[in-house]
Chain A
């Protein structure tokens, strides 16, 4: 099974897990499996069935937007990463 690396800001929705094994032969299937395992993640990654525009998914060091997007094929050895958009340690509340 491929592995997905979840960044700190999203670990609140994965019970703290950082590396999650997922089934699927494409990026879309793998992410679908991920949000099935952790339903609270869905709203952070997807808007309806599309990946949110600020969510960056990488396979190794490559951005899937420059591959075949959610249709990009993966195999069990692949490591996926969600790259968060972070701004800093500003206290907003």
Chain B
């Protein structure tokens, strides 16, 4: 295929030297390097995927790199977001990333968009002269938004996604192949999306997938090789296996199957039933949040445990989280097990006494806790569906994080 643009910028002698390992390859050469310098690439997110993307694209001499992010660097980011560091914890990710990129290559320009990407600003930002958009986001609403805006504006979208030990890579470029919606017409409903209990990601995985996205971007800009248009690479780190599948264009695709000027950006949080970012005002309409769940504080939990009250305190976190920290005296039953038990009972496949629920008495007051209070609230909702009295169940506000803050400062937080 030909390059996504035909512009060239002059290189100084210092730049020729800097990029000498590129220019001595015939596939790049002086012409290709001048093309990279004239290129503009927009990165959505400067997190796990965005870190290697920003570093390698800066090093490769992409002349203009845009960054969209609204977040500040958090200590827990450093396990995988290698563009940031201890010295920039608490600093805007854009500032942190820009400093590192310009240290690596002062000849490039970094354009910063310090805002969450939304349906209101996406077309403005994407129309700012970008040859390629690279999707390095971490949530479904933004992925659909990036896709739809790219299709509307005719921009290639270099897609990468990660989960635990698995990664996906593709190039969605509706002008020459399928779009994200041809492969994933609808997002999974929120209840079927793995939660953080089942989530997490190997810190190196975004490095693997992010550098593959950067490779695809360079190929598109230079017009060399076989881009991942119409294909998706599936990577399994545990097996160390790569498997390529075909992605076909859906002629009935609701986005790339209609004229570009008819594509409208929608409310993607509503579409996916989940918030896109921490600043979102989106609230789920999931029925489970409509029930009235009572709550107690960690001080109530402490008093109940110390006084020997007739209360059962249940920790619904995953077993590997118990290794990090526990409150002594709790009964430990993971939320997924409670959910499976509930499904089994409701589906008529299991009796109550055949499930983990046999360890949760129906006639006692129950305090449920998790890490921060969400999974425990879900667990209460599940229990109420299979005969537990809502008035006897209490959600521990703030979970074990609140316990670490208010009761036991020596406890590690995660």
Which A positions have Cβ atoms within 8 angstroms of B?
7-9, 12-13, 39-40, 43-44, 52-54, 56, 58, 61-63, 66, 81, 83-93
Contact = CB atoms under 8 A, between A and B. Distances in A.
Given A40-B340, A40-B343, A92-B195, A86 B371 contact: no
B186 interface: yes
Nearest to A60: B245
Contacts of A9: 163-164, 194, 198
A43 B343 contact: yes
Given A44-B192, A56-B183, A88-B139, A62 B163 contact: no
A92 B163 contact: no
Contacts of A93: 195-197, 370-372, 374-375
Contact of A87 (B48, B139, B185): B139
B168 interface: yes
Q: Which of A9, A13, A43 has the most CB of B within 10 A?
A: A9
Given A9-B163, A44-B192, A53-B185, A63 B248 contact: yes
A6 B302 CA distance: 42
Given A44-B192, A93-B370, A54 B184 contact: yes
Given A9-B194, A9-B198, A93-B195, A88 B163 contact: yes
B48 A86 contact: no
Given A9-B194, A12-B336, A93-B195, A88 B245 contact: no
Contacts of A58: 245
B129 interface: no
B199 A85 contact: no
Instruction: Tell me which of B199, B248, B347 has the highest count of chain A C-beta atoms within 10 A of its own C-beta.
Output: B199
Contacts of A56: 183-184
B55 interface: no
Given A54-B184, A54-B187, A87 B140 contact: yes
A2 B363 CA distance: 48
B245 A61 contact: yes
23 contacts: A7-B166, A8-B165, A9-B194, A39-B344, A39-B349, A43-B192, A44-B192, A54-B184, A54-B185, A56-B183, A56-B184, A63-B245, A63-B248, A66-B248, A81-B243, A86-B168, A87-B139, A87-B193, A88-B49, A88-B137, A89-B48, A93-B195, A93-B196
A53 B186 CA distance: 7
Contacts of B349: 39
Closest 9 CB pairs of A and B: A88-B138, A89-B201, A90-B138, A93-B374, A86-B163, A91-B196, A61-B245, A87-B140, A9-B194
B7 interface: no
Contacts of A81: 234, 243, 245
A53 B188 CA distance: 8
B161 A87 contact: yes
Given A54-B187, A87-B140, A88-B137, A8 B245 contact: no
Contact of A8 (B138, B166, B370): B166
A89 B201 CA distance: 6
Nearest to A93: B374
Interface centre among B49, B201, B245, B370 (most CB of A within 10 A): B245
Contacts of A66: 248
Interface string B330-351: 0000001000100110010100
Contacts of A84: 163, 166
B152 interface: no
A83 B164 CA distance: 15
Given A39-B347, A54-B187, A93-B374, A8 B164 contact: yes
Contacts of B140: 85, 87
A91 B244 CA distance: 28
Nearest to B201: A89
B184 A89 contact: no
